Amino acid sequence: MTTPPVPERSAPLLAIIGLRRSFGEVAVLSGVDAEVRPGEAVALVGPNGSGKSTLLRCVAGTDRPSAGSIRLCGQPMRERDLQTRRAVAAVLDDVEFFADLAVAEHLALLMSAHGDDAPDEHAAELLAEVGLADAADQLPAGLSSGQRRRLALATCFARPRLLTLLDEPEQRLDQAGRRWLTGRLLAEKEEGRGVLFASHDRDLVTAVADRVLDLGVAS
């Protein structure tokens, strides 16, 4: 499976325009505007409850805005559209894994589903990168919380994408894991992808983000 053409770096990959999300009388997002261009990372910061996760879910299509628009590569973004599925990879919540598939089998199956011509080989390479090579034959239930987080992130990086969406990806990672994550997100940018992520880790935000959107102020 191929991804849509990458827009020019001067054009937005993702455009969020006047996004609002209310739950009853409570406005969580009040007219948020943001852009992510190819090769850029935008960090969402703010206290818990400021709408970071809600914004990411709206972009990913798992929640519906009350008003405003979201455009991907200049087109309205719809979660069920083939273009969106080809272009967006996300880890927003805890990922559920198949109980009877080993760690390596999860990634190989995902890669195969997206047209990878050597899924077993590439899954092994990705597991080595995320520090799970020794756990390749384990079932997910036997992993530690940090290992499960690494595997969840690996499922994102195992698929084709133009835009990477991550909600507090540093959660449950040790210092070595956070260093790896920083390097991986910088690599996403170097490869021309856009990154939109929420984080409480100031070091990660400082190292990776080209712009910071403080929803505690903006919303």
- C-alpha span between 23 and 98 (Å, rounded): 33
Q: How many C-beta atoms lie closer than 10 Å to residue 175's C-beta?
A: 8
To the nearest whole number, what is the mean pLDDT of the chain?
90
pLDDT of residue 1: 47
Q: Directed axis angle between helix 119-130 and helix 175-190, to 10°?
A: 130
pLDDT in tens, 66-82: 999 999 988 888 767 76
Is residue 216 pLDDT above 90, yes or no? no
In angstroms, the Cα distances linking 201 to 71, 91, 131, 152, 164 are 28, 17, 21, 19, 18
pLDDT in tens, 121-141: 999 999 999 999 999 999 999
pLDDT of residue 11: 76
Sequence-ordered list of residues with C-beta below 8 angstroms from that of 35, at least 6 positions apart, any chain: 12, 14, 15, 16, 42
Q: Give phi and psi for 66, each to the nearest 5.
A: -80, -30
Is residue 2 pLDDT above 70, yes or no? no
Span 3-18, mean pLDDT? 74
pLDDT tier at 218, thresholds 50, 70, 90 = very low
Structural domains of the chain, ranges and CATH numbers in brackets: 14-218 (3.40.50.300)
pLDDT of residue 90: 94
pLDDT of residue 7: 56
Span 80-89, mean pLDDT? 78
pLDDT of residue 9: 57
Is residue 94 pLDDT above 80, yes or no? no
pLDDT of residue 93: 81
3-state secondary structure of 74: coil
The token pair that represents 101 in the structure block: 């598939």
Are 102 and 137 within 8 A, CB to CB?
yes
pLDDT in tens, 164-180: 999 999 999 999 999 99
The token pair that represents 219 in the structure block: 């919303």
Is residue 219 pLDDT above 50, yes or no? no
pLDDT of residue 88: 92
pLDDT of residue 19: 95
